[in-house]
A and B are shown apart, each in its own frame.
Chain A
Amino acid sequence: METLQNLLFGLSVANDPMNLLYCLVGVVFGTLVGALPGLGPAAGIAVLLPLTFGANPISGIIMLTGIYYGAMYGGSITSILINTPGDSAAVMTTLDGYPLAKKGRAAQALGMAAFASIIGGTISVIAFMFLAPALAVFAVRFGPPEYFSLMVLGLTTIAGMTGKYPSKGFISALVGLFFATVGLDLMQGIPRFTFGSMHLYEGLDFIPVAMGLFGIAEILTCGTEECTIKIDKKDVTWRKLLPSKEDWKFSLPHIFRGTGIGFFIGMLPGAGATIASFISYGVAKKTSKRSEEFGTGVIEGVAAPESSNNAASIGAMVPMLTLGVPGSGSTAIMLGALMMFGLRPGPMLFENNPDFVWGLIGSMYIGNIFLLILAILAVPLFIKILNVPRPILNATVMSFILIGSYSLNNSMFDVGLTIGFGALGFFMKKMDYPAAPMVLALVLGILLETSLRQSMIISGGNPMIFFMRPVSGSILGISILAIFYPLIKKAIQSYQKSRTA
């Protein structure tokens, strides 16, 4: 009852016309920034932070939150339309979103991405409201061994989503992990694999890598007529934007599952929306009735990661507000903003600043409604992008990719990296080496290595620490099953075949 009273209070705070305006501006800018390759939620929040300088703390954080989940949805737009994820959390959406667009179902894919995002976001806000304090206590119990196991689980699920050749998926992930080791060693400060280049001291950023492997590789392999996506105007009616009954039937269980996974993983400091989206995709693939078709354009392949990354963006607020520990890069910037506003995140925030906390929660509901309206209104506009002749689209996208990679660190070196990874992506695509595991391993690599080394320091060099702790041991057990799952599946299938023959 008290929670409901607090929620009503929060909605009244969020309904202040000024706060509504800030929320709307945040969602619109977030969606636009998320759709620009290279500028994900973290960069978007950082770039747009100055806009909140004159605002009160509540309005300011409402706007930043709007940017955050707007960008989460925005990232899916370019993933579906031009196979270029706007940010790492949207990488998984490309796997089925783009094939759907190629099949002429871009509208339904974008529509489902919007609905899945909103359902995931709304359920997570409800969960956030009721479960935040208790869940935060559980999440904080995760130590380095649990994190390491979680990362291993994340990477092994890649084996299940790399389609025909799991071995090539594993190679891709391992090479991605190697790329993550480039730069200064975090514990000893020794340069590794920098080959004397100062530019590599800070390591490889995932954005040039992702934009090269996905965006440029797509342009290189799909510049010809057969790759042109033709959208009939009749396909862009309002009715067509709504997913069909069959789409819902396939997607709904994965949306709910993705929301649960996303919210939980989002709460874990450092894990964030990226790992949530690819675990959700992996789980969706393994549990779907048509798992063989994943990667060829199935609607639940869009629904699962999209619900998950939006749920994770809300989940990441839990440790940030209740413990002052950011759950992702984006929430780390928001944490800085909160401090800039003179607020001290932590358990006392709920007691000392209820108008702030509950106003923020209220704004999440309203922000989700804004996002739905914006998504539906903007989808026909986004679809029109696909009818632009391929050479013009390729040339324009290429300019956005290069300027996006430059704007990351204001460095031409990053532009060169993007071009280099574009060339690598071309050959990987031709040789059936999937790019997603490499990008995701690069994102998770630093955290994985740090957790591994911290765990070994805690245990005095005993690797059994990963198996002795119940949570870590269970996660690793699941990971081992995930590694052997393709082999077990094949064995069962051949056994069944031999029995029927």
Chain B
Amino acid sequence: MRIANRIVSFLIILSGLFLTFQSSNLDYMVDGTPGPGFMPYWLGISIALVAFIPAVKTFTKFASKLANPFKAGDFTNFFIVIGSSTLVMIITPVTGLLVALGLMVGVIAKLMGTQSWKTVIGLTVCTPVLLFGIFVKVLSVPLPKGIFGF
């Protein structure tokens, strides 16, 4: 946790400084009053300054009380969910959003531990139907269609 906190604080400080640098491209004051660059400038400085506090704490006794936040296997769900939802973004232009979401639901359910294929296939089919009923029929949201025409 100590090293993780240091790295994160360092990244936040860098981001704050980058923000301050970027905001210098915008007008700081316009006709004697704050311009579009005023608030981002001070936000960048404030972020960098406040981020020093957790960084400094990692050098004190306080840091030894903190446990490592990342355990083995923590990233399994991360890769399953973020990976399959990113796949939704990629395949939607081809399959349409409903089909893509149906596939995503099946993949997540299976990889996260659902044993029964019947349940997985049921979810893959029923979820898009339910979403179609709510979002297309009731709420009239125009969803992206794919090669299947829905």
Contact = CB atoms under 8 A, between A and B. Distances in A.
A171 B12 contact: yes
B24 interface: no
A367 interface: no
Contacts of A400: 131
B77 A188 contact: no
Interface in B75-115: 76-78, 80-82, 85-86, 88-89, 92, 97, 101-102, 104-106, 108-110, 112-114
B131 A403 contact: yes
Interface in A179-227: 181, 185, 187-188, 190, 192-193, 216, 219-221, 223-224
Contacts of A488: none
Interface residues of B, number: 67
A396 B119 CA distance: 12
A127 interface: no
A452 interface: yes
Contacts of B106: 395
Contacts of B141: 403, 406-407, 410
Interface string A404-418: 001100101001100
Summarize B's interface: helix, strand, loop or mixed: helix
Given A174-B47, A193-B40, A403 B97 contact: yes
Given A174-B43, A389-B114, A410-B142, A398 B92 contact: no
A423 interface: yes
Contacts, number: 164
Interface residues of A, number: 59
B36 A399 contact: no
Contacts of B86: 419
Contacts of B4: 431
Contact of A430 (B74, B77, B82): B74
B81 A219 contact: yes
Contacts of B147: none
A416 B88 CA distance: 10
Given A402-B101, A430-B69, A192 B40 contact: yes
Contacts of B5: 431
Interface in A456-473: 456-457, 460-461
A197 to B, nearest CB: 15
Interface stretch (A8-16, A128-136, A162-170, A347-355): A162-170
A457 B35 CA distance: 11
B50 A174 contact: yes
A344 interface: no
A382 interface: no
Nearest to B73: A224
Contacts of B144: 412
A456 B47 contact: no
B110 to A, nearest CB: 8
Contacts of A419: 82, 85-86, 89
A420 to B, nearest CB: 9
B40 A403 contact: no
A461 B50 contact: no
